[in-house]
Chain A
Amino acid sequence: MAEGPVEQIRAKARELLSARQVECVIGYERASDGLTARPLFAYTPEETDRFILDNTCVHNLARYLLDRRTKPTAVVVKPCDSRTINLLVQEKQIQRDKVFAIGVSCPGVVEARWGESPEKPQPRCQTCPLELPVVYDHLITVPGERPSPGSGQRQPRTGFPEMERLQAMSAQERREFWQKQFKRCVRCYACRQVCPGCYCPICFVDQLDPTWVGIRIAPAENQVWHLIRAFHLAGRCIECGECQRVCPVGIPLMLLNDKLTAEVEGLFDFRPGLDPETLPPFATFKKEELEAER
């Protein structure tokens, strides 16, 4: 095929919209800085000419499927994003037959900040074990060397170096580290809003009875917010890294998620979103287990 990935996306989107197979195709277009990308919702074949695909396409577009649950929608998904589809199908939040996944292979994305020339690769791409999306209805291969080349779908985990570095510090040092991070949090909830795993009609933090957290924006409350949100994603975080990207004050939220991802993998040999059938750890149990971890 002589056509590059961008042309293939546009062609596929045009085809799906013209045939009315979907009402909308969600992909990427150039952002207003001319450097980075942003989501594009195309409803007509003409609009598909705006689609792009490059290493600034960092957003997890599958999250938007939660806004379009009953509407046939096509969505461009990178390998990490594609795990969202399995997760949301398993948790009965979307219907698989309403989703057309345009899967793209991915050589890694960059730290994309508006107005800045995108250069630095995202560290999480360097430990990403996925070559291809785990679920797709149409596959587009993107050429390019991956930061850590793999040879198959399931790679042994190469670890989470940043998280492990923090874990190796003393409890006091870890406390101080997180105190500094939570002091900066403004409770914008961008982390929650962008996360495909956060879709509770009323989030615990907005509950009045009981008031778990309240409206005060202060380190103690912020800590409860972040620790519980991370816990609610235990065994569910598909590691898209969006929460950390969207944080306006640069809190390294993925450290919390990575800690739980490592624990879930170690204790239960489970990674969410790889298939829609395997039960997640909190949905089941074994009669004999985990006594040593008590």
Chain B
Amino acid sequence: MGVADGPRIVGFLCNWCSYAGADMAGTSRMSYPPNIRIIRVPCSGRVDPLLIVKSFQQGADGVLVAGCHPGDCHYTEGNYYARRRFALLRPLLDFAGIEQERLRLEWVSSTEGRKFSQVVTSFQEELERLGPRERRG
């Protein structure tokens, strides 16, 4: 990471919509916090809960999963499965002491650069409020 202090966010962005949306935020010079490390995946449905849990174990303070809006998934259904998976993973992690606010699922389309920057900014603020996770990597 190297950059600044502040919460470390890992972002899994689907290639077709949210990654493009993040890219648009960049090209349109919309600023958002630099603490997010973006990992491009083909689809939000590809995000294995292991990736999320491992991110937390390796020191992430927050994990963002972003995909196409339901109905617009490039692979038709991937984000529907992601939505179900997420709806069960979040309460499980919360139960284990990883607060539910630390895991976010957002729908960001390829033209929603502003939305992306707003999402990361508000996520950063939320995580600052929560404080860092205990590092036990």
Contact = CB atoms under 8 A, between A and B. Distances in A.
A190 interface: no
Contacts of A286: 80
Contacts of A175: 96-98, 134
B90 A293 contact: yes
Nearest to A289: B83
Given A287-B80, A294-B105, A256 B53 contact: no
A35 interface: no
Report whether over half of chain B's contact residues are helix, strand or loop; otherwise say mixed. Answer: helix
Contact of B137 (A166, A172, A220, A259): A220
Q: How large is the interface on B (under 10, 10 to 19, 20 to 34, 35 or more residues)?
A: 20 to 34
A234 B80 CA distance: 17
**Chain A contact surface mostly:** helix
A177 B98 CA distance: 12
Interface stretch (A4-12, A69-77, A222-230): A222-230
Contact of A256 (B70, B81, B90, B96): B96
Contact of A224 (B54, B89, B104): B54
Contact of A285 (B54, B83, B104, B105): B83
A260 B88 contact: yes
Contacts of A264: 88
A189 interface: no
B92 A260 contact: yes
B90 A287 contact: no
Interface of A: 163, 166-167, 171-172, 174-179, 204, 212, 219-221, 223-224, 227-228, 230-231, 234-235, 255-256, 259-260, 263-264, 267, 281-282, 285-290, 293-294
Contacts of A179: 97
B122 interface: no
Contacts of A178: 96-97
A282 B81 contact: yes
Nearest to B100: A171
Contacts of A212: 50, 54
Interface in B70-106: 70-71, 77, 80-81, 83-99, 104-106
Contacts of A255: 95
Contacts of A223: 57, 96
A221 B53 CA distance: 10
A231 B137 CA distance: 21
17 contacts: A166-B95, A171-B97, A174-B95, A175-B134, A219-B136, A220-B57, A223-B96, A255-B95, A256-B92, A263-B87, A263-B91, A267-B87, A285-B83, A286-B80, A287-B80, A290-B83, A294-B106
